[in-house]
Amino acid sequence: MDLQQLQRTFEARFGQHGALYTSPGRINLIGEHTDYNGGFVFPGAIDKGIYACIRLNGTSTVRAYSVDYDDYCEFGLHEEDKPQAAWARYLFGVCREMDKRGFAPSGFDTVFAGDVPLGAGLSSSAALESVFAFALNDLLHLNIDKFELARIGQSTEHNYCGVKCGIMDQFASLFGQAGHLMRLNCTTMEFEYFPFNPVGYKVVLLDTAVKHELASSAYNKRRESCENACAHIAAKHPDVKFLSDATMEMLNEVKNEINTEDYKRAEYVIGEKQRVLEVCDALKKGDYETVGKCMYGTHQGMSKLYEVSCEELDFLNDIAKECGVTGSRVMGGGFGGCTINLIEEALYEPFIATAKQKFAEEFGHDPKVYEVTISDGARKIGE
């Protein structure tokens, strides 16, 4: 990102110098469909983010210019109606959600730009909310803790952008640390940093650019299956509050009480918890081969047991296997989006070339390629 250019654009528009902040997008290494089952997710912040030049303007008006959309928007802090432009609703929402919590924002001027691919599953929206929540907190000395900043971002999505997301994306964007992933329990918000320094490997995402309409109703059905399996187990084991608390033995005790579909869904969730724990042990030892095996395990589970993969994702996963990629799996809720791949550097170029060629032959377009490095979370980068 050309920060000098961002600063120059700000000065040209607002006639003054602004402070610079950034907040990143994220990946999730492992732990999918675990958040609503009381399990773990395992995200890390990436080296792609939103960059904002910002200055308090002493009024009650926000004046914002989006470089990437070449679009300007102005709104009053006390206005009821959200802005027309979708991108501006994220800023509006952050201001409103801060205000609701008793942290009155004040007017500001901003010019911002980003390099997180939009809608690819790397959470450009969380980067956008987080950079403004973080910057306002800093500039106004509000002392809001990072969890609350994450909730401000999450509520922004819920209340102003129509996305009922969990907390992982905002959490990762705010708490990220270079060279570390974070194991987070989204229910209790307990988390721990784990070293992630895969020397000799690259992390690369391949974007199928597929979005299946089915995703939200299928998601609700998966949740119902999990709740049903969990209720049957909990009847015998009152300690089990969430499906992630259960073991395979417990699931097998209720095998005859639930249908095969619910059984398979639960089998995936319980397996995924084990894989996350295995990855934790492996990361402590720097054993990326085991990490990779677990990633393939997750893909298999999501494809065959949880049934949230799709043809394009399975195709890319098969190519990864053929090319000797260490670990590969669908990232995100499924039914489209990206695969995340952990790959030895020497195999990188041939893998990308093969994946592009074969995918294009089969589906008529190239997958997009995003190489990522695990980096720091929200921060100030210039006075």
Which residues contact Mg ion by CB under 5 A?
A: 123, 125
Structural tokens at position 101: 């919590």
Per rule CB under 6 A, count of chain residues that contact ligand ADP: 19
Cβ closest to ligand ADP, residue 129 vs residue 272: 129
The size of the chain, in residues, is 383
Q: Which of residues 33-62 bind ligand ADP (CB under 6 A)?
A: 50
User: Does the protein bind ligand ADP through residue 83 (CB under 6 A)?
Assistant: no
- Give yes or no: 169 in active site: yes
Name the minimum Å distance from CB 324 to Mg ion.
33
For residue 322, give the amino acid letter. Answer: E
Where do we find the tokens 């005859």? 256
| Residues 143-172 as x/- pattern, contact with ligand ADP by CB under 6 A | --------------------x---------
Radius of gyration of the chain (CA): 22
User: Does the protein bind ligand ADP through residue 86 (CB under 6 A)?
Assistant: yes
Name the minimum Å distance from CB 186 to ligand ADP.
17
Cβ closest to Mg ion, residue 123 vs residue 244: 123
297 contact choice in Mg ion, ligand ADP, none (CB below 5 to 8 Å, kind-dependent): none
Residue nearest to ligand ADP (CB): 114
Cβ closest to Mg ion, residue 169 vs residue 267: 169
Residue 229 near residue 258 (C-beta atoms within 8 A): yes
User: H or E stretch including 46?
Assistant: strand 43-56
DSSP state, residue 167: S
Cβ closest to Mg ion, residue 155 vs residue 303: 155
248 contact choice in Mg ion, ligand ADP, none (CB below 5 to 8 Å, kind-dependent): none
Distance CA 330, CA 256 (A): 31
- φ, ψ at 342 (rounded to 5°): -105, 120
The SS3 assignment for 194 reads: strand
128 contact choice in ligand ADP, Mg ion, none (CB below 5 to 8 Å, kind-dependent): ligand ADP
Sheet holding 61-66, edge to edge: 71-76, 61-66, 108-114, 43-56, 19-28, 379-382
Catalytic residue among 35, 47, 99, 169: 169
| β-bridge pairing 368-372 and 201-211 | antiparallel
Q: Which of residues 111-130 bind ligand ADP (CB under 6 A)?
A: 113-114, 116, 118-125, 128
Cβ closest to ligand ADP, residue 40 vs residue 90: 90
- φ, ψ at 137 (rounded to 5°): -60, -40
121 contact choice in ligand ADP, Mg ion, none (CB below 5 to 8 Å, kind-dependent): ligand ADP
Distance CA 70, CA 127 (A): 19
Which of 69, 78, 211, 259 contacts ligand ADP by CB under 6 A?
69
Contacts of 273 (CB under 8 A, 6+ apart): 34, 39, 40, 244
User: Does the protein bind ligand ADP through residue 66 (CB under 6 A)?
Assistant: yes
Cβ closest to Mg ion, residue 113 vs residue 355: 113
Distance CA 315, CA 312 (A): 5
Nearest-10 crossing angle of helices 215-236, 260-285: 90
Site of interaction with ligand ADP (CB under 6 A): 50, 66, 68-69, 86-87, 113-114, 116, 118-125, 128, 163
Which sequence positions are flagged as catalytic? 169
